[in-house]
Amino acid sequence: MRIPLLDLKPQYEQIKKEVEEAVKEVLHSGYYILGSNVKALEEEMARYCGTKYAVGVASGTDALRLSLVSLGIGKGDEVITTPFTFVATTEVIVQVGAKPVFVDIEEETFNIDPAKIEEAITERTRAIIPVHLYGQTVEIEPIMRIAKKYNLKVIEDAAQAIGAEYSFKKVGSIGNVGCLSFFPTKNLGGCGDGGMVLTNDEKIAEKIKSLRTHGVKYDYFYSVFGYNSRLDELQAAILRVKLKYLDKWIEMRRQKASLYNELFSSSPSGPSKGVKIPQEAPYARHSYCVYTICTPERERLKEYLEAKGIKTKVYYPLPLHLQRVHKDLGYRKGDFPLAEKASREVLSLPIYPELERDKIELVVKEISNFFLSAKRGNAHAK
Ligand SMILES: Cc1ncc(COP(=O)(O)O)c(C=O)c1O
* Mean pLDDT calculated for residue range 10-36: 97
pTM for the model stands at 0.96
The whole-number pLDDT of residue 270 equals 63
pLDDT digits (tens, 9 = 90+) for 78-96: 999 999 999 999 999 999 9
Task: Give 289's pLDDT tier (boundaries 50, 70, 90).
Answer: very high
pLDDT of 271 higher than 70: no
Concatenate the DSSP letters of all residues of 70-136 into one string. Answer: HTT--TT-EEEE-SSS-THHHHHHHHTT-EEEE-PBPTTT-SB-GGGTGGG--TTEEEEE-B-GGGP
pLDDT of 375 higher than 90: no
Task: Lowest mean pLDDT of 32-41, 264-273, 372-381, name the range.
Answer: 372-381
The whole-number pLDDT of residue 268 equals 72
pLDDT of 54 higher than 60: yes
> Residue 382, Cα to own-chain centre: how many angstroms?
36
The whole-number pLDDT of residue 382 equals 43
Buried b (16+ CB within 10 A) or exposed e, 117-128: beebbeeebbbb
pLDDT of 360 higher than 70: yes
The whole-number pLDDT of residue 13 equals 97
* 288 CB-near residues (< 8 Å, 6+ apart): 134, 135, 250, 253, 254, 256, 257, 351
* Mean pLDDT calculated for residue range 56-61: 98
pLDDT of 211 higher than 70: yes
Asked if 6 contacts 185 with a C-beta cutoff of 8 angstroms, the reply is: yes
C-alpha pair distances (Å), 116 with each of 138, 144, 340: 13, 14, 16
Distance 181 CA to ligand 1 centre (A): 6
Task: Give 327's pLDDT tier (boundaries 50, 70, 90).
Answer: very high
C-alpha pair distances (Å), 313 with each of 1, 72, 146, 214, 342: 18, 36, 34, 37, 13
Choosing from 90, 111, 183 the residue with most ligand 1 atoms within 8 A of its CB, the one to mutate for a pocket test is: 183
The whole-number pLDDT of residue 272 equals 54
Asked if 136 contacts 142 with a C-beta cutoff of 8 angstroms, the reply is: no
pLDDT of 67 higher than 90: yes
Report the alpha-carbon distance of residue 64 to residue 46 in Å, rounded: 17
Ligand 1, atom 10, lies closest to the CA of: 60
Q: What are the pocket residues of ligand 1 if the criterion is a CB atom closer than 6 Å to any ligand atom?
A: 59-61, 85-86, 88-89, 131, 157, 159-160, 181, 183, 193, 195
* Mean pLDDT calculated for residue range 27-34: 96
Helices 88-95 and 60-70: angle between axes, nearest 10 degrees? 40
Which amino acid type is present at position 369? Answer: N
- CA nearest to 21, candidates 225, 194, 240, 206: 240
Task: Lowest mean pLDDT of 161-175, 257-271, 319-333, 338-352, name the range.
Answer: 257-271
Sheet bearing 284-285, strands edge to edge: 169-170, 165-166, 284-285
pLDDT of 156 higher than 90: yes
User: Which ligand 1 atom sits nearest the alpha carbon of residue 183?
Assistant: 10
Distance 64 CA to ligand 1 centre (A): 9
User: Which ligand 1 atom sits nearest the alpha carbon of residue 62?
Assistant: 11
The whole-number pLDDT of residue 374 equals 76
The whole-number pLDDT of residue 277 equals 95
Domains of the chain (ranges, CATH numbers): 9-104+111-243 (3.40.640.10), 246-375 (3.90.1150.10)
The whole-number pLDDT of residue 379 equals 47
Task: Give 100's pLDDT tier (boundaries 50, 70, 90).
Answer: very high
Task: Lowest mean pLDDT of 36-50, 117-131, 142-156, 267-281, name the range.
Answer: 267-281
pLDDT digits (tens, 9 = 90+) for 102-155: 999 999 999 999 999 999 999 999 999 999 999 999 999 999 999 999 999 999
Choosing from 61, 131, 239 the residue with most ligand 1 atoms within 8 A of its CB, the one to mutate for a pocket test is: 61
User: Which ligand 1 atom sits nearest the alpha carbon of residue 315?
Assistant: 16
* Mean pLDDT calculated for residue range 202-206: 98
* Mean pLDDT calculated for residue range 10-28: 98
Tally of CA atoms within 13 A in the half-sphere of 166 that contains its CB: 21
The whole-number pLDDT of residue 269 equals 65
Distance 1 CA to ligand 1 centre (A): 31
Which one-letter DSSP state was computed for residue 228?
B
- CA nearest to 41, candidates 161, 136, 185, 162: 162
pLDDT of 338 higher than 50: yes
The whole-number pLDDT of residue 376 equals 73
* Mean pLDDT calculated for residue range 36-50: 98
